[in-house]
Structures are given as structure tokens and as C-alpha cells.
Structure 1
């Protein structure tokens, strides 16, 4: 019954069974929605323009991601469906983003790309995508206020009909926090030690005040150049508190200046005309009837399921697969549902069926590889079993050379056997992390390999973004303990080194929490 309700929520209209789902493919995104071609085209173009605008202002130059390393955006029926997929998330959750090597997704409700003012879900999506860009472009652990303040700054965007993008507009979605919630001071933002154990009301105001500080330091004429100087000192190894006091001086005065700045009648924003932004084309494709039928299951699988949810989902996937036995995408989705439910042999059969129909089905290679790896861990002849398990990933690597998972699983084939990774395997892990720097589990594995190889400076560099992840959780705590030990001179050289404790992806949970979305006032 729960699954039926979720499936009903996912579809955009009551006539969902005849829905015509569309796929919009562009340089950095792939969007799935039961929307009109005009709507999904405009939405995808806005996302690409936003990427171009943020990359331009942050002076980021990145290679185009491989097809599977783009962010996949699933458009569901409404905010209730978003919260259901988030695990009955809080009432103010309007959209969420989930990073992963070759599997980054965003879940948003029905879109309105024509409105002048962005709705709450679009603001939340742009906020999270700003994180995605920043993490992809830098391995430095920026302070929390800067990470969240800049995301709020860029998410306060406006898309004009002529192709102009406005960035840095007033954060209207944070107005209630800025004017009604108890203040978070400049000291609280710049010195995290002063922000522990504050009450919930002040935590609510954090994002608005972080936006205000970032906006003020970006546009405030009396503070010109201070933000760059502050970030430069952090890169040189200055503490957060020392860097702030060195550049900004009296933090109480900075707080007063921020309040005065907020009271201005007009605030500066950035206009990027269409001549400045050159996003690539958007290609629209109508999904097959089978792909449309399997879409609610596919979305749920990509979001992630526990054992009980996987057991509920599999019969639904089997029913759709019976209706569409010749649809390769449906068979690949069945392989994923079968693997999630612990049925490795069935997952391999479904994946082989998908590949026989369409050898380019990326997800079929991945699910077959996952299932073979799972079986190899239980095999008597592990060396032979893991050689076989690598084959789907090797085949995928030939199709999509920059897909991070084949590289990662080549490395893991050594770790899961308890043998020393080869030089090629170490290089593969390094490359996987470069391709998916937003995947905390891959970075954590790389840090542990660095420790094992006595590359302590590299380990510290890889642990710092994890240890100071602004979203918090158990993963950053573990990374912070390792980082503090390394900086104290403890090189963690126990038996077998750090690799003894390296879990495979999926077993290490970084504890990432969704950012609080803007509240409707």
C-alpha cells in the first residue's frame, strides 16, 4: 500500500498511466519530467545558464562531465512527493540533492519555468547545485558561512525572457529570518567555536545572515577586497578566527555594518546578459512507454532503498518488466531493483537481457557489476570471481571512459580480496576522486589509501573537506578525528595501515543532511 501511494505521488497527473515522460539532455544535467516540451526545454536551459553564470563569476573552468556524471533531475508531482522520497522529510523541504559518483540526483516538484520569481523548490535546487559546483572545483575546506552564504547568494537568481541571468538579488526567501529571528552575529559566523549550543531559533537565522555577510563583502564599497584577502589567509593555514580578525578587524563593528547594509533601500545585483552566457544545446526525447511505466520505480531506486523498501519495490519492477520484456531500460531497472533486494542472480539475468537489447545501457553494466562483486565476496576462488566481476566495469569503461565507477571498482577488487592494490589500482582511485570530488565515500577511501602509502600531506588535503563539511553528521566527525591525529603526528600506522578500516562505498555513510529549505512566510 505504501508503494502504491508513493507511485501515485510521483506521477504528475491523475492520467499518469498514459503520461508522456520526457528526457532533456544537456551538458551538465539530464532532466526527467512529465511536462510539456516547452516547459522542460526552458527549465533545462535555465539550469545550464545558471551553471554558466556561477562558473563565470567564480572563475571556474571545468571539463564537461561524462554523461553519467551529470546531475540527474527527477521532477515529481508535488512537494509531498519530494518529502516522501526524502523519507518523510520536514514540512519545509521543497527539493533535495544527493551527490554520488556517477549517480548525483536532485528531486524537485512540478516546475514552472515561466514565472519571474523563483519558487521555493527552484531556490533549493540552485542552492544545492552551487554546492555541487564549488565542491567539484576546489578541494579546499571553505568555512561553513562562506559555503552556505555563497549558495544563498547564487540561488537568489532571476531568469529573464531575453536570456539574461540576474545573480545576487536580495534573498527574499530568507526575509523572515533576517528581520524576525534572533541575530546570528558576525562573530558566530566567522568563529564557529562561538556558535556551538545556540538555540534553534538562532540556527534558523544562520542561512540568512550568511547570505548577508557574503553579499556585503561582495558589494559593500568599504569592504572591497576583504573577502579575497580573508580566503587567502585561510589557504595559507590561518585559523578561521585569526583570519577574520586580521582582515575584518572589530567583528562587532562588522556586525553593525552588516545591519546597516541590510537596511539599505536598494541592494546591488549582478546582470549577466545572454551574450555572456553560452550554454550548450538541450536535446529533448520522449521516453518509451516502458520507460514511462518504470519511472516511479527508477526514481525510488536511484534515491536509495533499505531492505524492506527494496523487497516492496521488486514485485512492482517485475510487473512492469513482464509488460515490457523488450525494453532495455526496463530490464536495466529490473536489474537494479533485483540487486537492491538481494537477488544477485536475477539482477545478472536482467542486466544481460538489457545488454542483449541495447549494449549501451550504462545502468545494466553497473548493476551486473554490483551483483558479481557481491557474489565474488562469498566465492571460494576469490581471485577468479573478482576477475569476472570486473568485466562489466571494464566494458563500461570502454563505452564511457570518464565514468568514475569502473575506476573505483577496479580499485575495490583488490581491497575486497584483502590484497595490496596495484599502482594502476591506486591511480584509478585517484582518478575516480578527481571525476567525482563531491562523493565523500570515494574521497574517504583515497585519504585512507594515502595514509597507508605514507602520503600524509595528501591525506590531510583529502580529509579536510570531509572533516569540515558544513552539513555535519557522523562522517565528518570520523574524518575530523583522523585529521587531528595526522596533524598531531600520529600517522595511524597500525597493522595493515589505514586500509584495514576502509569500507566499500555504500557502507560508509557521510551523514549528510539536507540544507534547510526556505520557509514559506
Structure 2
């Protein structure tokens, strides 16, 4: 039997088939990294509500990561899905005691940097800046004596810097370059972005230029015009970067005890939880219809063996929802809640199932009112859980009724609680656009537009922002713009995925 353990801290929940010493050290390093980010950025983030922490699943190897992701490159070192109340990262087993930070840990730190900065309300910048910054911070070291250093050499990118394609500063700064072919040289792009970010951070002659560049862009100046004004001659900057690469790499270091970590609780999962954990990871990673039909059968077998386990029954409710069996899901969730009234996921799955049933109900008003009950109970357990606010907003939209001001304000609050989930911004922006409220929609669209992993949705948001800035007016125009935005429905529980290949993102 596997010895699955849970490490619970202020910002993370980790599940791993590992010994207590390693999972505790892993948790401590992540919290130390979070504290270092706060210290270097000047941000002081409030602790997320328990369900809104980042959940990290640690699996045996890269093959398991790839199997859970179900798509993407052959060689992958981890993936991250940002979702309100259900953000996850999946990484292979992380070695925490070596002299150098293992690559899966760097992958995780890179993605958590994005998660942290978005949670802090930091405006996303051009792609090179966002990714170069994430590479900069994620190149962290955890000395044996304790403490942490950030911003050191990105060893995993040195091969690309020394022997790969030389990406010119002009290519990095021009947003069209990536789409025009830089994507085929993504390792070189990330490596060079790290180098430029690092140089602008530490070079004395360049102090203040990166902030000036971002400030000029914030005033509406295009990225290339802002770059020329802030950085000067691009060829000169290229020459400086070439020289800088051969010099000792500086970093920010924090001595042991300088940063707070907080309490870390480690527990070994009981036999039932350990048995269902591999299936929970598959559920949380996302499954298609065929996979859901197979997976629910596997979870049912575990539930037969452990009929008194609330976590197993909660997982069964989730599997039944994914498989489209709403009545079975509600029965499993009710039983899980009966066994453990604190079983938050059971409330989520019951509410999810009731919402899906309500769409087909004869009395839709009564059905949607009943569907909100589990979420109201969840909110009493966890007042800052974002899902009750999100479902309350959709409760009105699903019935084709205008949401009252408090429901719209609730959705705005949900976005503040889970700003990393861009689907929430898309949903609210579509609502605002359909009602001609362009000023209210624009900040949400701008955030989506600047998301480095936003794909088609980011491009659609950029198009809509340009139309708004050109002075578009009227609800008819707003409805047409809303139609340009295509995001997964909230109920599908699908979020954007960021995956990192070995040697490059």
C-alpha cells in the first residue's frame, strides 16, 4: 500500500507518495519561495482561503505527468491549471536535498511565480517580461544551511544561451516575433528573456529602465516605442548582453531565519484516501467523456471497499458528475456530507450536479434556487470560497434574468479572490459587453489580453479592447463583441493549461 501524505501550509496543499521528511522539506521550500517573492516584489498577499490554495500532486515520473495531462509534448516536466477554488499543479517527484534545484522544482516555481504575481494584482507585461521574470525568480537555490537565493543563474537555459539560436533584443521586444516563428525556438526565447530581465535588474547603468519601459507602456505607448525610449539603441543592448553572459551572475539571498514560513501540517492519508488518490489526481487533471465513463467505474469499486470514507464518496460524486450521472453524484455527495459535514468538495459536486439538472427542469426557478443551497452551505464553512459567488452570478444568467447588483459585485469579488482564473473575467466581461458596459468590461479584457498563456482567448480579448478604445457604442455592438470571446464554461471545470517541456516551456 502506498504511503500517501498531505502537507498543508498557508499557500499550498501537497499530495505525494513520499516520506514525511521530504514532503515537509518540499512544503517548507515552497513557502520560503513565497515569502521571498513577497520580500522582493513588496507585495504582502493575504493567505488564500483553504480551498483556494494551490494543490500540488507529485507523481512518480514524467510519464505519469504526461498521462495525467493527456495532451501536449512528449517530454514534459509538469503542468499547471489555474481554476477558482481548484488550482492544481502536477510535477514528477522532486528531489529537495541536492546542491542544485531540480528541474521539476524550477518548473513549479516558474508557474507559481505567474500565479503569485497575478494574485498580487501585478499587471502582466509583454511576453518576454512575464516569462523572463518567471525564469528569473524560479532560478532559486535552497542551500543546505537554510535560507534561499533568487535570481541566480538559469542553469537549465545555459545550453540555449551558449549554443542555441541567438535571439536579438529586437525580436524579444517585438510582440509579432513570437507569432512569426519564435515559437519554434521557444527555449531560446525563454533563455534570452531571462538574460535580458536579469541584466536590466542588476546592471548599474540600466537601473530604472525596466520600470520606465513598463510605465511608458502603461501610458499607452506601443511596446517598441516604449522600448526605444527606455533602452535606447537595441544593437548596443545586444552587445552588452553578450558581455554580461560571461560575467559572474548575481542573485538576491536571504539568510536562514530571515523569512517566515509558517506552520506546516503533515499527515499520512488513511487506507481509503490512499487508495482513491491516484483517481482523484486524474479527476482533477481533467477528463474527456470516454475517460470519465471508465474512471467512474474505477472510483465505484473503491467506494464499495470503503463505503464509510467521506473523501472516497466525495471523489465518487466528482466522478459521477464528470460521467453525466447527476442523481448518483447527489447521492454520493449527500452521503459524504453525512459522514463529514466539513467535506467541502462534496458540497461543490452536489451543487454542480444540481445546476446541471436545473437546466432541464420544468420549474427552473425552483431548481436553481435548490442548486444554490450546497454553495450557501459551503460559504458558511469557508466565507472566502469563490465558488458560491460564481454560481450565484450564473444562477441568474442561466435563467435569463438580469443579476442584481450584489450578484455582479459578488462576481467581481470572486475575481479578486481567484484572479488567476481568466475564465471568470471572460464570463463577467461578456455580461458587461452584452449590456453595453464597455468601461466595466475593459479592465477584465485587458487582463485576459496580456495573459502569456491565454491562446485564442487572449487574441480575441485584444481585438475587443481595440474596438472599445476606438469608441464602439451600443448594446448591439456589445453583443457582437461578446460573441468574439470563447472561453470554456465554468461548469466544465476546464482552465487554461501551462505546460513546461524539458529544456523549454
The normalised TM-score by structure 2 is: 0.95
Aligned to 2:499: 514
Instruction: Quote how far apart the aligned CAs of 1:414 are.
Output: 0.3
Residues 95/254 of structure 1: CA separation in 2 closer, same or farther (3 Å cut): same
Out of 260, 267, 270, the position equivalent to 1:278 is 260
Aligned to 2:115: 132
Contact 1:76 1:108 in 2 (8 A): yes
Q: Between 63-72 and 136-145, report the one with greater CA deviation.
A: 136-145
Q: Between 188-197 and 104-113, report the one with greater CA deviation.
A: 188-197
**Structure 2 residue 34 is matched with structure 1 residue 47:** no
Out of 221, 238, 246, the position equivalent to 1:238 is 221
C-alpha separation in 2, matches of 1:500 and 1:202: 34
Contact 2:8 2:265 in 1 (8 A): yes
**Structure 2 residue 103 is matched with structure 1 residue 120:** yes
Instruction: Quote how far apart the aligned CAs of 1:455 are.
Output: 3.8
Contact 2:5 2:18 in 1 (8 A): yes
Contact 2:182 2:189 in 1 (8 A): no
Q: Which runs of 5+ in 1 are unaligned?
A: 1-17
Aligned to 2:362: 380
Instruction: Quote how far apart the aligned CAs of 1:96 are.
Output: 1.2
C-alpha separation in 1, matches of 2:499 and 2:423: 17
Contact 1:365 1:393 in 2 (8 A): yes
Contact 1:476 1:510 in 2 (8 A): no
Out of 472, 475, 490, the position equivalent to 2:472 is 490
C-alpha separation in 2, matches of 1:510 and 1:44: 24
1:307-341 CA-partner distances (Å, limit 9, x unpaired): 00000101100000000000000000000000000
Contact 2:52 2:86 in 1 (8 A): yes
SS state of the match for residue 299, structure 1?
Answer: helix
C-alpha separation in 1, matches of 2:9 and 2:257: 19
Aligned to 2:7: 24
Out of 320, 324, 328, the position equivalent to 1:346 is 328
Matches within 5 A, 1:306-455: 306-455=288-437
Contact 1:473 1:513 in 2 (8 A): no
Instruction: Quote how far apart the aligned CAs of 1:141 are.
Output: 3.3
Contact 1:23 1:285 in 2 (8 A): yes
Size of the aligned set, in residue pairs, is 502
Q: Which runs of 5+ in 2 are unaligned?
A: none
Contact 1:449 1:498 in 2 (8 A): no
Instruction: Quote how far apart the aligned CAs of 1:139 are.
Output: 5.5
Residues 498/57 of structure 1: CA separation in 2 closer, same or farther (3 Å cut): farther
SS state of the match for residue 127, structure 1?
Answer: helix
Instruction: Quote how far apart the aligned CAs of 1:498 are.
Output: 7.3
Instruction: Quote how far apart the aligned CAs of 1:129 are.
Output: 0.4
Q: Between 255-264 and 473-482, report the one with greater CA deviation.
A: 473-482
Out of 174, 180, 183, the position equivalent to 1:191 is 174
SS state of the match for residue 182, structure 1?
Answer: coil
Residues 282/508 of structure 1: CA separation in 2 closer, same or farther (3 Å cut): closer
Q: Between 56-65 and 390-399, report the one with greater CA deviation.
A: 56-65
Contact 1:42 1:113 in 2 (8 A): yes
Contact 2:80 2:497 in 1 (8 A): no
SS state of the match for residue 476, structure 2?
Answer: coil
SS state of the match for residue 159, structure 1?
Answer: coil
